[in-house]
Structures are given as C-alpha cells and as structure tokens.
Structure 1
C-alpha cells in the first residue's frame, strides 16, 4: 500500500491502521516528515520532491490525501487489479477522476475512485477505542488558541503539519 500525504494528521492514522492490518506501507511526503512516517511504522518512505511515487511500485492500493497528479500517473502506479482512492483534492481533480478515471479503470481493470468517509460519532468509535487502548497514537503537531485559527489553517493547508493541528476553543480549567 502507498499513502500519499502520509505525514499529516490523517496520514499518520492511515500508516498505523495499515500496519496493524499487516500491510507493507510506503509513505510519501516531504523530507521533513520522513522520520516521523518511519516512526509510525512505514516500511518505506519517499520524499515527493525527489522521487515521483507514480514511477515506483506497482502498488495494490494507493490512498491519496493530496491528489495533485493526472489520472494516467495514478494508473501507472497501480498493479493489475490495483485500487486508487482519492481522499481530498480540488474540484477539477475530483471531476477528472470521476469521469476519466472511471473510463481508465474499466479499460485497465483497475479501480480509480474517491474514498468517502462516513460522518458521525458511530463511525469513529472503532478508531477512538484503538486510541484509548494505546494501539494507535495521535500525533499532535501544534495547539492554537481560537483567535489563531487563520494561522493554524495556513500551517495545515501548506502541508507543514506533522500530525493534527488542534484548535483550543477554551482555556483548560485550572486545578
């Protein structure tokens, strides 16, 4: 399995869950995040600025948290009958994947699609239980006060976060 954008908050969960499922994980992100991804269990790491992950592999499963390449590049990264799932991306990239990706998938016997995450507490309880049990670690990059939301969003949006960016809505009670 390859996880693109694996050094952020969602990627850190994806690495740990994939390893717990017994998968060989290749994690892709910037050079500053390679050690963190190894520490979370990634078997191999790729600095996307140095190496194009779509020219490595092939992979049975690609989960893409960044989605910035062409449908044909994603297809190139897949093994026969491989699956590619986009988690986030621009509207343009999503539309290309839904149209051209569907056609390419049919012609090449692969699957290129969007990973839809179900919302609501019931869908997150299994992950929360694993966190409480200590099986999955929550990596917190930084904690920002409510008035610093723009700076926190910029840090997250620029891809600099090494885990979750947290907004503290209220001060913690004094004991």
Structure 2
C-alpha cells in the first residue's frame, strides 16, 4: 500500500487487514506505529526503502501516482495494481501494463455499488474500520491545515470545521 498514512491509505490498511490480507504499508517511518495499530503487518519507510527491495506483492494499492511502472515490477506473476492518483505518467503506465505482460495496473473507480457501500457502512458501524482524523482546524485557521498537509506530517485526514453551517438535505 503506497501512501498508507493518508486518508484513503488508512482506510485501505484497515479494510485489507479486516479481509485477511497481509498488509505492507509504505509511508514515513514516523507513521509506523499508527499504521501497525490500524492493522499493517509491515511498515516500510518510503524514504529509505528502494522499490527494488520490496515485494513481490499480489496486490498494490497506490495513492501516490508516481513511479507506477517501478512498483509494477514488484508485483507477483499475476499481481494487480490499482491507483487512485491519475496523471499523464500514470495513464501511460496503465496503458503500457495493458499491453506488456500479466502484471496489470488499473485506475480505481469511484463509483461503488450499493452492496459495497453497505458492506463498508457495516464495517464502520462495527468499528472494524474507523475514520482516522489527524487534526481539526477552524475555518479561520485553514492556512495552518494547508501548511501541515504540505509538510506531510499527518496520519489520516485533516478536518476543517465550518461553524454555523448545516448540511443541505437532499
């Protein structure tokens, strides 16, 4: 799991663990304890671990979007890689993986069906998957939230509280 300490990554670590997967998280070393607490079996420091020294993996979930071809080579023979971060280079890597070999990269769809959403809701309600909130900032201090995000020092999501706002019912 590349980008394991982010908002999507922390949810994916928990889901993979709950589904019986052996979870290897790639993130900053300082996030290792939090990721292990969420269910990661191994945590590799992305700053100190070359892609070539990892794997093989049956599945790689990528939330970063760079170096996809490099991590694709770390897949087991019929492994699969999914990314949620699309760029011109990631699209080229996805296209190349469709043509060359069994190790495939795909973009992850953001259109889950009702059954998938119901399953996720049940896992959240039962506490198997929990939202990870790093910090909450008032709207007036949104610049601090942005600076913290740029430093890369967060685990999970940052929340910006908007006082007095009420959700618009559909």
Query: What TM-score comes out, normalization by structure 2 length?
Result: 0.85
In structure 2, the partner of 1:11 is 9
Q: Over residues 19-43 of structure 1, what are the superposed CA-to-partner deviations in whole Å (9 max), with x where a residue is unaligned?
A: 1111111001011111111111111
* Partner residue, 1:69: 67
Q: Select 1:99's aligned residue among 88, 95, 99.
A: 95
State the secondary structure of the residue aligned to 2:73: helix
CA distance 1:165–1:122, change in 2 (3 Å): farther
Alignment of structure 1 residues 1-175 onto 2, 5 Å:
3-71=1-69, 73-89=70-86, 91-103=87-99, 107-118=100-111, 124-170=117-163
- TM-score normalized with structure 1 length: 0.83
The whole-number CA distance in structure 2 between the counterparts of 1:124 and 1:34 is 28
5+ residue gaps, structure 2? 166-170
Deviation of the 1:122 alpha carbon: 8.3
In 2, are the aligned partners of 1:55 and 1:76 still within 8 Å (CA)? no
Distance between the aligned counterparts of 1:157 and 1:133, measured in 2? 33
Mark the CA change 1:37 to 1:170 in structure 2 (over 3 Å): closer, same or farther: same
Q: 1:110 to 1:156 in 2, by over 3 A?
A: same
Structure 1 stretch 42-51 or stretch 132-141: which is displaced more?
Answer: 132-141
CA shift, 1:138, in A, is 1.7
Structure 1: gaps of 5 or more residues: none
